[in-house]
Amino acid sequence: MQPNAKSFGSFLKEKRLEVGVTQRALARKLDVARQHMSVLEAGKRLPSSELAEQLAAELALSSDDKDLMLDAIAKDKEAVPTDIGGYIMDTDLARVALRKARDAKLSPQGWEKVIEVIESEGADGGW
């Protein structure tokens, strides 16, 4: 796993080009102005949650790519991704775990181990 180092604008442009659609065509499908697409790709604006969902659908993003997109938006906003913010706020132990990881300066390898534990718990029905 690699952290997402891309801005939302560069991510959007890359994914749009991968599916071979122009800014104008994508804007038309989303019912927004072409200039709005240009401004998004230039990193001058960020999409609303609703537009982000529409972009994910129109670009046929995988679940992982959608997560990367939400992370890029949050990073550009300097905020917590919208899809996990509520979970973090509603789950006391999640906040405790994140603070402990921060204080311990958990390495990428340490995070990989945490992910493995989470995935094995989920697969075993341990939730």
The pLDDT tens digits of the residues spanning 47-105 come to 999 999 999 999 999 999 999 999 999 999 999 998 899 999 999 999 999 999 999 99
Helices and strands, number each (H, E), in the chain: 8, 0
DSSP for 44-92, please give it: S----HHHHHHHHHHTT--HHHHHHHHHHHHHHHTS--HHHHHHHHH-H
Q: What φ, ψ does residue 4 adopt, rounded to 5°?
A: -80, 110
For the chain, give the percent of residues with pLDDT over 90.
84
Q: What is the pTM of this model?
A: 0.78
Whether residue 82 contacts residue 49, with contact meaning beta carbons closer than 8 Å, is answered with yes
